[in-house]
Chains A and B, each alone.
Chain A
Amino acid sequence: MRFVPTDEHEALGEAIDEIIAGCGGVDVPRGWANGDTASGRRLWSQLADLGLTGLRVSEDDGGMGGTPQDMVVAFERLGYHAAPGPYIESVAFLPHVVPSDIRAQIAQGVIATTSAAPHAPWAVDAQISDLIYAVGDSWWAEATVGSEEESLSALRRLVVVDPGERTSSDSAAIAFAHDEASLAAAAYLVGAGERLLDEAVSYAGVREQFGRPIGEYQSLKHQLADVRVALSFARPLVHGAAVTLSDHTGPRAVSAAKVAAGVAARRAARTALQVHGAIGYTAEHHLGLWVTQVPALDTAWGTPATHRARIARALRAE
Chain B
Amino acid sequence: MNLDLTPEHETFAAEARAWLAENVPAQRLPSMDSAEGFVAHRQWEATLAEGRWSVVSWPEQFGGRDAGLVEWVLFEEEYYRAGAPTRVAQNGISLLAPILFDHGTESQRERYLADMANGTTIWAQAWSEPGAGSDLAAIRSTARRDEGRQGWVLNGQKIWSSRAVWADRGFGLFRSDPEAQRHRGLTYFLFPLDAEGITVRPIAQLDGETGFAEIFFDDVFVPDDDVLGAPGDGWRVAMSTAGNERGLSLRAPGRFLAAAERLRSLWVREGANDPALDDAVVDAWIGAEAYRLFTWNTVARALDGADLGAEGSMNKLFWSELDVSIHETGLSLLGARAESRSTAAVDGGRWVDDYLFALAGPIYAGTNEIQRNIVAERILGLPRGERRERS
Interface residues of A (CB under 8 A from B): 1-4, 197, 201, 204-205, 212-213, 215-218, 220-222, 224-226, 228-229, 232-234, 236-237, 239-240, 253, 256, 259-260, 308-309, 311-312, 315-316, 318
Contact = CB atoms under 8 A, between A and B. Distances in A.
B377 interface: yes
Given A3-B293, A4-B304, A228-B314, A312 B382 contact: no
Q: Which of A3, A215, A234 has the most CB of B within 10 A?
A: A3
Contacts of A215: 376, 382-383
B318 interface: yes
9 closest A-B pairs by CB: A216-B385, A236-B293, A221-B376, A225-B375, A225-B372, A215-B382, A4-B1, A233-B290, A3-B297
Contacts of B377: 221
Contact of A4 (B267, B297, B379): B297
A311 B286 contact: yes
20 contacts: A2-B1, A2-B4, A212-B385, A213-B385, A215-B383, A216-B384, A216-B385, A221-B376, A221-B377, A224-B380, A224-B382, A225-B371, A228-B314, A236-B297, A237-B293, A239-B293, A240-B293, A312-B278, A315-B282, A318-B264
Contact of A222 (B301, B314, B372): B372
A216 B382 contact: yes
B226 interface: no
Contacts of A213: 383, 385
A315 B264 contact: yes
Nearest to A311: B282
B3 A201 contact: no
A221 B293 contact: no
B317 interface: yes
Nearest to B293: A236
Nearest to A217: B385
Contacts of A260: 286, 290
Contacts of A259: 282-283, 286
A318 B282 CA distance: 13
B347 interface: no
Interface string B265-290: 00110000000001101110111011
A226 B294 contact: no
Contact of B375 (A2, A3, A228): A228
A309 B279 CA distance: 8
B12 to A, nearest CB: 16
Q: What size tier do the contact residues of chain B reach?
A: 35 or more
B209 interface: no
B382 A204 contact: yes
Contacts of B293: 3, 236-237, 239-240
Contacts of A233: 287, 290-291, 294, 314, 318
A197 B382 CA distance: 12
B2 interface: yes
Nearest to A218: B373
B62 interface: no
B3 A221 contact: no
A240 B372 CA distance: 26
Main secondary structure of the interface of B (DSSP, over half): helix
A72 B388 CA distance: 45
Q: Which of A222, A226, A232, A260 has the most CB of B within 10 A?
A: A232
Nearest to A198: B380
A236 B294 CA distance: 6
Contacts of A316: 268
Contacts of B282: 259, 308, 311-312, 315
Contacts of A201: 380-382
Given A205-B382, A312-B282, A1 B290 contact: no
Given A216-B382, A229-B318, A224 B286 contact: no
B279 to A, nearest CB: 5
Contacts of B317: 225-226, 229
Contacts of A239: 293, 297
A3 B300 CA distance: 7
A160 to B, nearest CB: 31
B82 to A, nearest CB: 19
B264 A229 contact: no
B218 interface: no
B312 to A, nearest CB: 12
B383 A205 contact: yes
B339 interface: no
Nearest to A204: B382
A40 to B, nearest CB: 31
Q: Which of A4, A224, A260 has the most CB of B within 10 A?
A: A4
A316 B266 CA distance: 11
A172 to B, nearest CB: 24
Interface in B1-33: 1-5
Contacts of A216: 382-386
A308 B294 contact: no
A184 B379 CA distance: 27
B382 A232 contact: no
B3 A3 contact: yes
Nearest to A230: B318
A177 B371 CA distance: 40
Contact of B376 (A222, A236, A311): A222
B196 interface: no
Nearest to B375: A225
Given A240-B289, A315-B268, 18 more contacts: A2-B1, A3-B1, A3-B293, A3-B300, A4-B3, A201-B380, A205-B383, A221-B382, A222-B369, A222-B372, A226-B317, A228-B314, A236-B293, A237-B290, A259-B286, A260-B286, A315-B267, A315-B282
A230 B53 CA distance: 34
B296 interface: yes
Contacts of A2: 1-4
Contacts of B371: 225
